[in-house]
């Protein structure tokens, strides 16, 4: 009777070209989100996949091209997730509030997150090999936000005289610089929600804003902070289901 040798190495399944690219992109996303583009190494990506560096270059050509593919894929994922989340938040404005919520920073802007990945991309717009991919990624995300703002205007939740594109870039700037504020700003847990609240106040019709503090008994600095806190209590602090951004 023939006996099977249990010590023989298992035969590896050969991946298709599409599966190989996906496995490389998965690994590259983790590496670049954790270390950034400049510190992230192709050798680390190859080690995660279990291949040699030449295999990475055979599939993507260069480190810059690999990073650009990661940005493109993650931007598309965020677009799809925003569309999927739209029905769970009741309105486009509620989804914008969710996107800006600082309560999910650990998940969306902590080490290894997509927020860190895009914040890193924002610093690479002057890099010769990444200027166009980094710019295109930012424009794609801004387009998604502008679409949400237009829907909010149609619902009457966002001021009709707001330029959707300008507002989208304002919100994208707030999101992309959040890791920097978290590292540099005193009391980030307290102030970050105020930053988001002030941006939302600028978009909201006066009739829909939370009541501001009494200007007759409050100085200007307290008034500004109190208005933001009122908005935070009304919108940003409410529990929300887990989402994409």
Q: What is the pLDDT of residues 195-218, one digit of tens each?
A: 888 999 999 998 876 654 443 443
| pLDDT at residue 2 greater than cutoff 80 | no
- The burial of 188, by beta-carbon neighbours within 10 Å (0-12 exposed, 13-18 middle, 19 or more buried), is given as middle
Digit-coded pLDDT (tens) for 75-93? 888 888 887 777 777 788 8
Show the DSSP H helices in 156-219 as ranges: 164-176, 178-184, 188-203
8: tokens are: 């023989």
Full set of structural domains in the chain with CATH:
16-61 (1.10.10.60), 71-236 (1.10.357.10)
What is the structure's pLDDT at 137? 86
CA 204/CA 209 separation, integer angstroms: 6
Confidence of residue 219 (pLDDT cuts 50, 70, 90): very low
Statement: the pTM of the whole predicted model exceeds 0.85: no
Show the DSSP H helices in 40-177 as ranges: 42-49, 53-60, 63-85, 92-100, 105-108, 114-122, 131-155, 164-176
What is the structure's pLDDT at 128? 79
- How many other CB atoms are found less than 10 A from the CB of residue 149? 26
Whether the Cβ atoms of residue 100 and residue 204 lie closer than 8 Å to each other: no
What is the pLDDT averaged over residues 23-42?
A: 92
Whether the Cβ atoms of residue 117 and residue 71 lie closer than 8 Å to each other: yes
- The burial of 101, by beta-carbon neighbours within 10 Å (0-12 exposed, 13-18 middle, 19 or more buried), is given as buried
């Amino acid at each position: 009777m023939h006996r099977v040798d249990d010590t023989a190495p298992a035969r590896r399944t050969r991946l298709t070209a599409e599966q190989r690219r996906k496995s490389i992109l998965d690994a590259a996303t983790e590496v670049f989100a954790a270390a950034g583009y400049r510190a992230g190494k192709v050798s680390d990506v190859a080690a995660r996949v279990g291949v040699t560096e030449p295999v990475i270059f055979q599939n993507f050509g260069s480190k810059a091209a690999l990073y650009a593919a990661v940005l493109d894929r993650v931007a598309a994922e965020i677009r799809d997730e925003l569309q999927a989340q739209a029905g769970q938040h009741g309105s486009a404005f509620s989804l914008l509030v969710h996107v800006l919520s600082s309560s999910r920073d650990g998940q969306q802007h902590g080490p290894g997150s997509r927020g860190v990945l895009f914040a890193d991309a924002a610093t690479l717009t002057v890099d010769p090999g990444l200027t166009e991919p980094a710019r295109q990624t930012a424009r794609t995300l801004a387009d998604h936000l502008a679409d949400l703002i237009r829907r909010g205007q149609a619902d009457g939740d966002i001021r009709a005289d707001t330029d959707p594109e300008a507002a989208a870039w304002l919100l994208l700037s707030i999101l992309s610089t959040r890791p920097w504020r978290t590292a540099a700003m005193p009391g980030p847990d307290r102030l970050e929600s105020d930053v988001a609240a002030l941006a939302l106040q600028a978009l909201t019709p006066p009739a829909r804003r939370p009541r501001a503090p009494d200007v007759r008994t409050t100085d200007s600095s307290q008034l500004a902070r109190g208005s933001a806190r009122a908005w935070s209590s009304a919108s940003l602090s409410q529990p929300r289901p887990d989402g994409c951004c």
